[in-house]
Structures are given as C-alpha cells and as structure tokens.
A and B are shown apart, each in its own frame.
Chain A
Amino acid sequence: MVLSLLNKEKAIKEMTRRQFVSHTYPNSEIAERFRTIRTNIQFSTSNKKHQMLMITSPSNGEGKTTTAVNLAISISQQGNKVLLIDADLRRPKLQQTFNLRESEGLTDVLMEGILLEKVIFNTQIGQLDVLSSGTIPPNPAEIIGSNAMTRFLREVREEYDTVIIDCPPVLETTETKLLAGQCDGVVLTVNSGKTDQEKAVEANRLLKLVRANVLGVILNERE
C-alpha cells in the first residue's frame, strides 16, 4: 500500500519533470527541439498577432499534453502572453500536471458563467496562464460545440498573444473536430513506433473534412 503510494508519487513527479523540461532545463536538447517546433509553427501560420493553436493526435497517449505544455512554455519564453486550455473534458490532464486538482475551469466558465479571471491559474513560468477543464460534464461535445464556447474563444483570443488548446484525440471524440475549424492552426502529434499509419491518415482526413488548417505534424518519441 505504502509502496504503491510512493510509486505513484514518484510516477507523477517523473511525469511532471518531463512535462516541464522546457522550463526546468531550457538548455537541454528537448527544449531546443521545442524551440525549433515553435519557430516552424510561427513561420507556417499567418503573421497575425493573436493566434489560436490546437494540439491533438489520432489516439490517446501519444504525447499531446507534454507537447502542449512545452510548446506553451517555449512560446511564453519569447515574452508572449500565453493561455493553455485543457479542452479534454473526458480525460483531463492539465490539472494533474499543474497540480490543480479539484479546481474550477473551462466547463464552469461556460456553464455557470464564472469569471475567467477567477479560474485561470497563473503559472510562475513567463506569462503562461493555464485553464483546466473544470468539472467533468456528462455532455462534453455539446459544451465544446456551444455558442458560449465560440464566444469564450473569441474573448481569450483578444486577451492573449497565443492560445494553445490541448484537445482530446481526433479519432475518438467529436469535440476536436468542432474546435478545429475555429483555430488558426492544428498541430497533429504522432508517436514514433506507436501511432498506426492508417490512424494518422484517418485523423488527417477528418481534420481536412472540417476544413481545419493543419499546420503539420510533431513526431514524438523519435528513436
């Protein structure tokens, strides 16, 4: 019992260490890779100031959250005001990563009209703000597809230089497809040796179908 608890704590610590590598080791190779990705994204999107990016992947466990967090850190290190939103209302990860358990978030803003300022978490990393998913609702697709969400995104877009949305997998949920059209760019994360070729093709097809601007692919865990 105690051992498993210790292991769990260790696992969380290890996960957290990985997910903040751009912050904790800004000179590491990994951080350098994320800076390259940041530059490539900035060159491939139109040069407007308020950008909204979406990070997704074909299936679960391919490194979306780690990519989103490190990319957000990397962009905030340029002096940008960045908001990182967890739009995965089914299996939220950001609250665990930033240790925001039981906190209010996106769903509470959309459904109960709580002010954004109250639920946003200001990390001490640059100007990076984090919005967790909040209370897990029974109808995530309806909430993400609501007009309130569209309005909310328009608002935060004005307030931040860059908004990064950590989305659920494309192949498994509708929300991602609903959001994809509203973002300036979609980044597809695939895992080397794990993501099936057919799934990657299918995810790309679905994103094209909703006229998402797919900027490109991040190849994760490359050997």
Chain B
Amino acid sequence: MSSLQELDDKQVMEHKPKEINIRELFLVLKRYMWIILLITAVSTSAGTYYSLSSYSPLFQSTARIIINADSSLMSTLKVIIQDTTVLDKVVKKLNLPYSPEVLSGKIMVANIGDSQVVTITITDADSKQAAILANSVAETYKEEIPSIMGFNDVKLLSQAKEVPFPINEDKNKPIIFGFVGGIVVSIGIAFLLDSLNNSVRKEHEIEELLGLPVLGTVPKMKKTNMKEKKTSFKI
C-alpha cells in the first residue's frame, strides 16, 4: 500500500512541480524547526534585554508665556530664552549640577501658531524636575528680559505641570526587531543547512542513485505511529 502511495507522490511531483516546491519549503522549515525556534528565542531575549537595560523614560513639561511683541522682535525674544544669560541664573537659582549649555539642550521653544503665546518645553528624565525647570526658566526669563532687551511685556500664561507619562514609549522596538530578525536569519540558516545536507531522503532518489529497489520505508517513530491503530477495528 505504501509503495502505491509513493508512486502517486512521484507522479504528482512530476506533474505539479510548483506546488511540490512549496511543500518542500515547508518540510525544510519543519525539519529545522528547533534551530529556528532556538535562534528566534535567543535574538528576542537579546532584544528584550537590550531594551530593558538601555531604556530610560523621558518626560516633558511645558510652561506657556505671552510675549506681546511683533513677529520680528518675537524671534529675537524667543532666542534669548535659550541664551546662557538667562539659563545661568536658572542654574544658580535651582543649584543644578550641570552647566547652562546642558540645560539649553533640554529646552524647546515654540510659538503656538501665529499667536503671541510661546511654549517653553523641558525634556528630562524626571517628570517633576521637568516641570520645575520649565517654570523656573519662564519666571527667570520674565525677570531678566527687561534688563537685557528693555522689553517689559512678558506675562506668564500657564504653569508647567508634572506629566507622569514618558514620551518615548517605543521600548518594544528592539524586541520586535530581535524577533523578526531572528526569524529571518534562522530561516536563512535552515535553508543553508538544507542545501549543505547531501543525504538521501526519498525513495526514488535512492533507486536512481543505487539502482536498488526500496524494500520499504520506516517513518520516524513517534507516539502516534507506534501505538495500536484503534480506529481500524471499528466497523
């Protein structure tokens, strides 16, 4: 019975090469399943480890001020917010452990549309600190700007509040990358190994290669094919 089945297989193979190719690909994947699983597991856990060890959440907090000036003056006034003259005072006031230049790097200044409202956004690893810095920068700016520019019309619009949600949520990126990369690489390795494996696999291969008949095939012994076939007894 099995030899008939094999004959069928052979005929199918000769007539429909494309479908069989896909089946072959799946067989290769199944054969090297353990390698694929192993490499994917390793790369995924490496990605997880990397993201857990390197991830630090960043928080933003925004203070709003109103600068009552026309657009040409506005840009000058905006630049001064990030200037060391103002920030030097903030560093001294809050007794910060870093230089005004570092603080300048944490600040983002922007207009809201064409309005006179200017936002001072601080990005920091500490959510509370971000709010304190934003408020302090806004206040110091308001205090200092008359002596720098002789300009008086700056008002505090709204205080910066602590925002407890980190802005960089994409910590899953390395994990996904590790997972997808692991699958791709391991499938590549599986096909490489398969192409390097020069062993006999099929009945007709053996018959062509050796000129000997195949007396029979024994499948891999599994629980399913070693047990009694109970269904065959039912009538």
User: Which of A's residues lie within 8 Å of B, judged by CB?
Assistant: 17-18, 21, 25, 27-30, 33-34, 36-37, 40-41, 44, 63, 67, 187-188, 190-198, 200-201, 204, 214-223
Contacts and interface: CB of A to CB of B under 8 A. Distances in A.
A223 B200 contact: no
B195 interface: no
17 contacts: A27-B232, A29-B224, A34-B216, A34-B218, A36-B2, A37-B216, A40-B213, A40-B216, A216-B213, A216-B215, A217-B215, A218-B216, A218-B217, A219-B216, A220-B217, A222-B218, A223-B30
Given A27-B229, A188-B212, A216-B214, A197 B221 contact: no
Given A190-B206, A195-B199, A223-B27, A217 B214 contact: yes
Given A21-B226, A30-B226, A33-B2, A221 B206 contact: no
* 3 nearest CB pairs, A to B: A37-B216, A29-B225, A216-B215
Most chain A CB atoms below 10 A, which of B3, B199, B211? B199
Contacts of B212: 188, 204, 214-217
A219 B200 contact: yes
A27 to B, nearest CB: 5
B219 A30 contact: yes
Contacts of A196: 198-200
Nearest to B27: A223
A201 B206 CA distance: 9
A18 B206 contact: no
B219 A27 contact: no
Contacts of A198: 198
B1 interface: yes
B165 to A, nearest CB: 50
Given A25-B227, A33-B216, 6 more contacts: A18-B221, A27-B228, A33-B219, A200-B206, A214-B212, A223-B201
B72 to A, nearest CB: 78
A27 B228 CA distance: 5
B198 A201 contact: no
Contact of B227 (A28, A41, A221): A28
B31 interface: yes
A17 B227 CA distance: 11
A186 B216 CA distance: 14
Contacts of A223: 27, 30-31, 201, 219-220
Contacts of B3: 36
B197 interface: yes
B228 A18 contact: no
Nearest to B201: A192
B227 A219 contact: no
A192 B197 CA distance: 11
B162 interface: no
A67 B197 CA distance: 24
Nearest to A188: B212
A29 B215 CA distance: 16
Nearest to A31: B226
Contacts of A218: 214-218
A192 B226 contact: no
A130 B199 CA distance: 33
A30 B200 contact: no
B112 interface: no
A214 B2 CA distance: 21
B229 A28 contact: yes
A220 B227 CA distance: 18
Contact of A193 (B201, B219, B229): B201
Given A190-B206, A195-B200, A222 B219 contact: yes
